[in-house]
A and B are shown apart, each in its own frame.
Chain A
Amino acid sequence: METLLIVDDEAHQRMLYQEELSDEGYQIMLARNGKEALEKVLESTPDLIVLDIRMPVMDGLEALGKIIGKERNIPVIIHSAYSSYKDDFMSWAADDFVVKSSDLTELKRKIRELLNKKKAEK
């Protein structure tokens, strides 16, 4: 079973992801901020990371740089309410950028795409 690490500071967002993405057949790990995400990545390598940007303690872009420094092969999707972060150079280090919406269809599609691509590269 493929494992996703979901990083978001809002509890109800995490619940929503947990429910919807478990239904898709993924195992879900959760982190509340960039720092927790980094710890989780070091603990057990997930197959893909869904990363919010605006979070307390450590934001998503800082976490992204550090994650690439440690585990450069995990695909990362930035999932933020603010499309303006697309202008931030560091956000270009993510494999994809999905603007948040209550409908998770696009996010699910991108997750599948990146996981398939990763499998194909192996």
Chain B
Amino acid sequence: MKKVLALILAGGKGERLYPLTRDRTKPAVPFGAIYRIIDFTLSNCINSNLRRIYVLSQYKSLSLGRHIQLGWNILSSTLGEFITVVPAQQRINEHWYKGTADAIYQNIYLLQKELPDLLLILSGDHVYKMDYMEMIDFHLEKGADVTVAVVEMDKRLSREFGVIGIDSDYRITEFQEKPDNPKTLPTRPDKILVSMGVYVFDTEIIVRELIEDAKKDTAHDFGKNIIPAMINKNRVVAYDFKDGKEDAHYWRDVGTIEAYFESNMDLVSVSPLLNLYDPEWPIHTYHGASPPAKTVFDESFGGGRRGAALESIISGGCVISGGEVRRSLLSPNVRVDSYAQVEDSILLEGVWVKEHVRIRRAIIDKGSEIPPGMQIGYDLEEDARKFTVTESGIVVVPKGFRSR
């Protein structure tokens, strides 16, 4: 049995998710009502039986650190298992991580301490379910130096990803970073293979590569520098991502507000692409001691109050008291008061929607209080004066909003 160490890169600023990333790094952004984005990667590790995990943090890491401390204290140190958050320490040199490769290089002493045979390098930015052990088996079977997980994507999205070209034996022959003219699949000219930012490396080989890269003036990035430099001299292979569900291959970068909104809304649909209800692949997270969700009032007379939630995800501690919620996600401890209407929206933890409020196509960040009678998502010009409004008209109310 090979010794594997997982390193999760969790320093992403997630600038295109602003204002959701105003107070937190991207992996700590809430997702799917009760989770944070990083919960998916961490759960994948645990479900793949990988229990030696370092989470490398950098920007705005308080919220992430607290979440992992409170929610992920589930392993046994006695058995040598750990999930440890490692903040940027400037131990090797005196700057912050310049790129993904530099983040690992600057933590080379962690590898020294663990001396794993293989390194599994992951991003804490993505939402997907994946058995990493299958990928590791593939890596060993192929006798690879590096294995890069890939997923099919529409060609039009090439500018957002690292696009990969392979030969018939899955050997990677090309790596284009965010290309305008990507290499498409031989059989499907409308499809490309993109890197998921999931890598298996032979430890000694990657250490030598990282040192080499540290001595050069590069962007110190796995996608831009390390992998392209290795293609010609090492055995670099692609692993076709499978997530168990045959047609789905669900993997989302949720890098923009639009993508974030759509991925969340998918969970509300009748048969979501991402199944959170699979007992074989539980997604773990922090659970506070919230009381059960509750609806209040069902007055049948004209003008009477009705507390109702339809086609929605409702978390613990929510009280829907005389208001109506449709096709929405409510994180824990949300209150929706009388005559309020919430539609197609994401309400994060502790949001309080007061009487006669109307909200549609909006994301309301943690702890915000929407004052009585306010309308959000109905007059976008008016909304844009106070809030972030995306091109497609999604309104984002920042954390802790108060009308005063």
Contact = CB atoms under 8 A, between A and B. Distances in A.
Contact of A68 (B91, B112, B215, B217): B215
B214 interface: yes
Contacts of A93: 211, 214-215
Contacts of B215: 68, 72-73, 93
A69 B207 contact: no
Contact of A90 (B94, B109, B216, B217): B109
**In which size bucket is the chain A interface?**
10 to 19
A66 B108 CA distance: 13
Nearest to B208: A92
Interface residues of A, dominant DSSP: helix
Nearest to B214: A68
Interface string A90-101: 101100000000
A2 interface: no
Interface in B188-223: 207-208, 211, 214-217
Contact of B93 (A69, A73, A89): A69
Given A66-B93, A69-B95, A90 B214 contact: no
Contacts of B214: 68, 72, 93
A122 to B, nearest CB: 16
A89 B92 contact: no
Most buried by A among B91, B94, B95, B211: B211
A69 B111 CA distance: 19
Contacts of B92: 65-66, 69, 90
Interface of A: 65-66, 68-70, 72-73, 88-90, 92-93
A-B interface, 7 closest residue pairs, ranked by CB to CB distance from nearest: A69-B93, A65-B92, A72-B215, A93-B211, A89-B207, A89-B108, A89-B112
12 contacts: A65-B91, A68-B215, A69-B93, A72-B217, A89-B108, A89-B111, A89-B112, A89-B207, A89-B211, A90-B109, A92-B208, A93-B214
